[in-house]
Structures are given as structure tokens and as C-alpha cells.
Amino acid sequence: MLQISYLRENTTEAIERLLIKKFDSKELIKQILEHDDKRRQTQLELDNLFAESNRISKLIGELYKAGKKTEADDLKNHTISIKQQSQELEKKLREIEDEIKQKLVLLPNTPSFSVPKGKSADDNVVIYENQTTVKIPENSLPHWDLAKKYDIIDFELGVKITGAGFPVYKGKGARLQRGLINFFIDEALKKGYFEIQPPILINEDSGFGTGQLPDKEGQMYHASIENFFLIPTAEVPITNIYRDVILREEDFPIKNVGYTPCFRREAGSYGKDVRGLNRLHQFDKVEIVQICHPENSYAILEEMQNYVQSLLSKLGLKYRVLKLCGGDMGFASAFTYDMEVYSAAQQKWLEVSSVSNFETFQSNRLKLRFKDKNGKTHLAHTLNGSALALPRIVAALLENNQTENGILMPDILIPYLGFDKIS
């Protein structure tokens, strides 16, 4: 959530920056600032009433001590009127503040000044592509056919049990899932991340805190009786650990990693791009989350995206890094890198990670603050990234490593799997 002080002091800049995200905010920001003027005026009136009430209360005490009971009683009756006025103003103030909040949450985060302009994913900028070559048999199979051939993933059984987008992993397919999760967690621990195993159900406050609500209700599974939501990513519960927390400057950077299953309705997703593991309703993911001093967040963003690249390199995958344009960025992000792996059998790039800096957008919602060495309170910066999402990693590993005699596993995974080939 953007800060009103920023909108007031940088109105033109905010409008221009949000246009890069294809969001016309001019009228909405105008309304927010007008309501904030009303809030300020109402608060001033309320403060003046409180001051008047305090002055009169002190005077009443002095009059009683001086034996001037009649005058004191008259003033006491006046305080009743002041109290009624104060209650009305407090109610008005709450209504104005609620209206401001309802409008503020409609504004996306402003993109960083280094975010390229563009309307869609076609305008994203490829900033790096590794030189790994992929050699597969001439009659190569896509991963959904390989899964059936080697009986490691059963999509039809998932449909029977639940529905489309809920695959059943079997045998070496299940062991590959478990091995990848342990590998990703172990690599994060080596880099100083602290492991968290969070709940996979969140309340509404948690969804609001990281920007999923009220923006993505249609993409989240909802347990309506308890009003809980199944998480779309571990970012949500892990970041919410720090909701309503004041940290110390010396606590930074805070580095957490967590594995969870993730759930996304993916409403409106149809066609060939959703086949097999390409787009699921339930999938496994290891997430890294950092909370840091604002001065260091972009250096940490680079550190995080380089770390994700290192995982892809160790798996021997062909990959590329994209800087997202404004038109393809998420609601809460100020800057996002996407990592894509090449799927040889499908002859296409598959996104496997997004690494984003949210600056103060989430922390303002979360009331996540820190005190500097002078005791002054500031909003922290939050960042997160997939490290990594499993489905498309598995798809690329199966497709890119297939041979006539089976599917070879990367050397670095063999200790986690207990096998070197799926055959």
C-alpha cells in the first residue's frame, strides 16, 4: 500500500509511474488526497475539542476548590456537550479513514525507475541467457508423455481424485519431488537462510498484508466457513510473521526460506500452455524471503536473483533472466526478475521463478517497521523469490535429459534421489 505522504508530496510522479503499469490513477489519487484533507481537518477539530475539554476539566476542579459549585456545575454540563461532539467527530474520522483505506488499496505499487516500459510479456527484456546446449533424441517426447511412459506422474488419477491440475506423483516421480525440495532447502541454508515451515492456510489479515487481498480473491481457494485462504505461495505466511513488528536496524537482513504446497485457482487459464505440469492448481515450491534496510534492498535483489541462477546452473538447465516491463508486473511489486528454463521437447521457455522487491508496499500494509540507531521508526523493505517452483523444473529435467535408454538425473541430485536414471 502506498503512503499518503508519498502521494501528496509526489503526486505527478506517482501518476506517471503507475501509468507504466497501465494503471490510470489520476482521479483515484485526487479523491484520496481530498479525503485526507477532510481527515486532517476533522482530526484538528477533534484535537481542539479534546484540548478544550482538558482545559475545562482543570477549571472545574479549581472552581470546586474555590467553593464556586454553581459555576463548576454549569461547566460540567458543557463538558457533556463537548463529549457528544467528540464522539460524533470520532465516528466521522473513522468513516473518512475507512474510505481512504478502501481507495488506497486499489492503487498498485509504483514501479522502480529502472523498470522498462511495455504493455505485456512480449515487452520484457532478456538480460541474460546461459550457453548450456540441450541435446535430446530426434523423436523426443513432452514431459506428459514421459510421465506416462515411465509411470512417474499420473494426471488422470489426479482428475479422478480431485480434478484437472492436481497430479499424482508416483515412485521415482515422488522421489524426484522430495529430492528437489530437500536440495533447494539445503542450498538456501548454505546461503544463510533460516528455515520456516509455515501454515498453508491464512486469515484475511495475512492476505491483505502481502497484497493478495483484495486483489487476487479470484485466484485463491477459500474455506468460507472459517474465512481462511489456501496460500498461493509461502511468501504470504512467512512475511506475515513480521506483521505489526518493530525490528532493530541490527536485525537486518532477515533471511527466511520455506517449503510449502501452493494453491492457485488459475481462473481463465485454458489451452495448450496449461498441459501437463505447465500450469497446476496445486504445486510444490521453495520460497526465499528477505526483510532489509531500504538502503540495501536493490543490492539484495541482485543477490537473490543471482542465487536463483546458481540453482538452475547446478541443475544443468538452459535458462534465461528477464527484467519485467511495467505492463507485466505484479500488483505489489516495484521490480521483478523472472527466470525461465528452456523446454526442449515443447520448444518453449517456461517461467520457474520470480524474484521481486516490494520496497515499502507490503511493509506499509503489515506495519512492519524498524528503529534506526537514533530511535527513529521507518518502514522496512520486503523481497521474495521462488527458489524454486517445482513443476516446470521437473518438466524441463524430464524433457531435456531424456535418452533412448531413460531419463538421466543431474549429478548434484543423485545423493538426494538414490538413483541416477528414470527408466
Query: How deeply is 166 buried, as exposed, middle or buried, from its count of CB atoms within 10 A (0-12, 13-18, 19+)?
Result: middle
Domain boundaries of the chain, sorted by first residue? 4-104, 121-422
Single-letter amino acid code for the residue at 30: K
Q: Where are the beta strands (DSSP E) in 177-328?
A: 194-195, 201-202, 222-223, 228-230, 246-248, 254-263, 282-292, 319-323
In this prediction, residue 60 carries a pLDDT of 77
Indicate the pTM of the whole model.
0.93
Q: How far is CA 166 from CA 162, 198, 232, in A?
A: 7, 22, 14
Q: Where are the beta strands (DSSP E) in 145-206?
A: 153-154, 168-169, 194-195, 201-202
Helices H / strands E in the chain, number of each: 13, 19
Task: Give per-residue burial for 250-269: e unless 16+ CB within 10 Å, then b.
Answer: eebbbbbbbbbebbbbeeee
Mean pLDDT split into 10-residue runs, the chain, 423 residues: 97 98 98 97 94 82 74 75 91 97 96 96 97 88 98 98 97 98 98 98 97 86 96 98 97 97 77 82 98 98 98 98 97 98 95 98 98 96 98 98 96 98 97
According to CATH, what is the number of the domain 4-104? 1.10.287
**Assigned fold of 121-422:** BirA Bifunctional Protein; domain 2 (3.30.930)
In this prediction, residue 316 carries a pLDDT of 97
In this chain, the answer to whether the domains covering 4-104 and 121-422 adopt an identical fold is no
CB 20 within 8 A of CB 326: yes
Half-sphere exposure of residue 405, counting CA atoms within 13 Å on the CB side?
Answer: 3
In this prediction, residue 272 carries a pLDDT of 52
Grid cell for residue 360: 515499502
**Using only C-alpha atoms, what is the Rg of the chain?**
27
